[in-house]
Amino acid sequence: MKNKNKIRSEYLFSRELSWIEFNKRVLEEAGDKTQPLLERVKFLSIFSTNLDEFFMIRVSGLKRQVFSEVNETTSDGLTAQEQREFVYQELCPQVKEAYRIFNEDIIPELKQNNIRFYKYSELDEDEKTRLDKYFDNEIYPVLTPIAMDNVHPFPNLVNRTLAFALVLDDPETELREDKVSVLQIPGNFPRFLSIGKENSNQYILLEDVIEANASKLFQGMEITDCYAFRITRNADLELEEEEAGDLLTLIEEEVKKRRLGVIVRLEVEEKIPDKILNFLIDDLELDNTEVYKVDGPINLGDLMYLYRIDKRTLKDDGYMPRISSFFLEEDDFFKAIRKRDIMLHHPFYSFSSVTEFIAQAAEDKNVYAIKMILYRTSGDSPIIKSLIHAAENGKQVTAVVELKARFDEENNIIWAKKLENAGVHVVYGISGLKTHCKLLLVVRKESGKMTRYLHLSTGNYNPVTSRIYTDLGLFTCNEDFCKDASDLFNYLTGHSKQKFYNKFLVAPYSMRKSLIGFIDNEIESHKANGNGHIIIKANSLVDDKFIFKLFQASNAGVKIDLIVRGICRLRPGIAGISENIRVISVVGRFLEHSRIYYFYNNGKPVIYSGSADIMQRNFDRRVEMLYPIEHPKIKEDLEEILHLYLKDNVKARVLNSDGTYSRIEVPINEKGEKEYFNVQEYFVTQVKKKYLVESKKEYKKRIKKLKQRKTAQ
């Protein structure tokens, strides 16, 4: 087994290190001085919050393996301990670069644009008085300093909250006694406190105000040192579903435990003395590879607050998502969908068409049932309101809710209870499998018989993230698709053992085998015709078996283009193995989230879309679904979308054989000018052009109707 893993490690990248390379590309966006300032702030925030999740889930998993003395190497040839060490080596320079960008680029430019952070010492006396009063009246009653000595153990600090380590001395004693106290900074206060005039964008950090007033907590003592730190804990839920009598209660209990999981990272101020740092390391039972020193305010993730500032010149140009012409021409969604399949490319096409379709179904007296799979949605979702309204209108409403959607468990529990209280049939999926596919089925009585309408999506039914994620959504009333959807709902909600479907590829049953089969077919087609081509757009490429099948296709001469946003374990460019494989990643204004599987098939393309990435969990431990694209025009559209992504030379990076990513060389035209192409901005520009044309059409329609009305009068 060791030799086998060693051989495989030459072909496969470490999953963790590949993810770190992805987040490095996010950091590059923060460092790109050609971008608007607040967009750079946004990417710096995303970089930081991505790291939080990485530590809470992936690094915590490695730590569990080390503690459990699991010494086996994974298919990348590394043990868990080796991966932890590599993570530290790779992340330290990235964290240092993030703070260099913050200190040298972001802060000065914010100041130039009248957005400024002040230290307490820089404030005038009036501002100090106002903030001191705020501290005395609001913050002081909440704070609880915890002494650290033989009587008081280290406090159970909540995951990802800031804290101070304070060193105290009693001035009444001759000898200096360094007593240590820990003070957790409350997370339910705003971190950015406004100073000066309202909406002046002048701020001071909450921790600076607390530090300036901390002596009030230690009467009779002198504070000699005060340093901020932050811990990150394991947040992966460990569920024993088979033994759970009530999955909802089980997850509620596990979410509470998450606040006090095993510590996997300690962030400290760079200037912290070794004596205090070693004290924290010892008391928290950490090793040096779990400590990250930062030159600035801990947790840059909170910078997303600044993105709310209404300064359009500091952000990307705005645009209005387009309403599909099929829905503009026909107010009735059911009539529009009956005419033909309709594909929406979000966020360039408005997600409002989806929410309005559900709202119309909730009101329509001919609609008998609505069935929906909900993985994540926004807190105040119009979709939830429509489902509740539909149930109150006497319709049969079923919601398959995935309670285990990571970091959305609490939100999902809240609105699952709301749905249940309104009379919606809420189902929590299948034990042992996470339900990740996205479907909406509406049953309507038309001309004396039941007709089904279906919406299939690559993304969550979340109106908020639909504005920043690229996703695909298909409206159809194709009978084969609708029958498969009904069978899939019966599998999820009842005891159906449905494993095979007419059109859908469903995991954990047929998806892996079918996709492998398509690759085999492309290999055979290439042998016969010499034109084999596979294009896959996904978020992650991790599964070993799938990767080795792609190697087989490459070795047979099939051209393979992979558009993988995040983790890619496949090593391209290996002679005799993967020289025909090109991998790019697009990290830009929108989060790439759509999945498309394309097989050229000698000029008769086979195209699938859906919610599944190329990961073992998606194939084997989730209920996933891919659906075929059959409408000729939609096939053409998706083929064009894929080729446009492959053309990007601004936000795309190409994966090298050593695991690093490089910018793509920009071609030069006949005039000697560089031809830049940013695929996301291209879609935005196309939307703006079409929106103007359609607005003119709508205007002309309204004028025509007014003239007809006047003539009739």
Domain residue extents for the chain: 128-285, 325-495, 507-677, 680-713
Q: Which amino acid is at 174?
A: E
Classify 684 as helix, strand or coil.
helix
Give the span between the Cα atoms of 667 and 646, in whole angstroms. 14
Please give the pLDDT value at position 7.
39
- Class of 128-285 per CATH? alpha beta
> Active-site residue numbers?
436
* C-alpha span between 538 and 341 (Å, rounded): 23
Instruction: State the burial class of residue 229 (Cβ atoms within 10 Å of its Cβ: 0-12, 13-18, 19+).
Output: buried
Whether residue 509 contacts residue 500, with contact meaning beta carbons closer than 8 Å, is answered with yes
Highest mean pLDDT among 33-47, 163-177, 426-440: 33-47
Q: What is the mean pLDDT of residues 499-523?
A: 96
- 347 upstream amide cis, omega within 30 of 0: yes
DSSP string, 271-304: T--HHHHHHHHHHHT--GGGEEEESSSS-GGGGG
Please give the mean pLDDT across all residues of the chain: 89
Mean pLDDT computed over 245-271? 67
pLDDT of 238 over the 60 cut:
no
- Residue 170's pLDDT is 87
Q: Could you read off the pLDDT of 259-284 as tens digits, one per residue?
A: 557 899 999 999 999 999 999 999 89
Question: Among all chains, which residue has been given the structure tokens 């989806």?
Answer: 354
Q: Which of 137-141, 210-214, 567-571, 686-690 has the lowest mean pLDDT?
A: 686-690
Q: What is the pLDDT of residue 695?
A: 54
**List of residues 6+ apart from 434 with CB closer than 8 A:** 402, 404, 405, 617, 621, 622, 623
Residue pLDDT, tens place only, 38-54? 999 999 999 999 999 99
Q: How confident is the model at residue 509 (pLDDT cuts 50, 70, 90)?
A: very high
Q: Is the pLDDT of residue 66 over 70?
A: yes
Domain spanning 507-677: CATH superfamily: Endonuclease Chain A (3.30.870.10)
Nearest to 403 by CA among 246, 594, 262: 246
Residues 312-318: what's their mean pLDDT? 94
Question: Long-range CB contacts (< 8 A, 24+ apart) of 190-198?
Answer: 191/302, 191/305, 192/302, 192/305, 192/306, 193/131, 193/134, 195/118, 195/123, 195/127, 195/130, 195/131, 196/127
Q: Three-state SS for 473?
A: strand
Query: What pLDDT sits at residue 2?
Result: 38
Structural class in CATH, domain 325-495? alpha beta
Distance CA 604, CA 606 (A): 7
| CA distance readout (Å), 639 to 400, 534, 645 | 32, 11, 10
Of 53, 61, 48, 62, nearest to 99 (Cα)?
Answer: 48
Residue 404 has pLDDT above 70, yes or no: no
Rounded alpha-carbon distances, angstroms, from residue 604 to 287, 472, 525, 550, 711: 57, 22, 11, 20, 53
On the question of a common fold for 128-285 and 325-495, the answer reads no
Q: What angle do CA 244, 249, 253 make, to 5 degrees?
A: 100
DSSP state of 433: -
Phi, psi of 316 (to 5 degrees): -60, 150
pLDDT of residue 250: 46
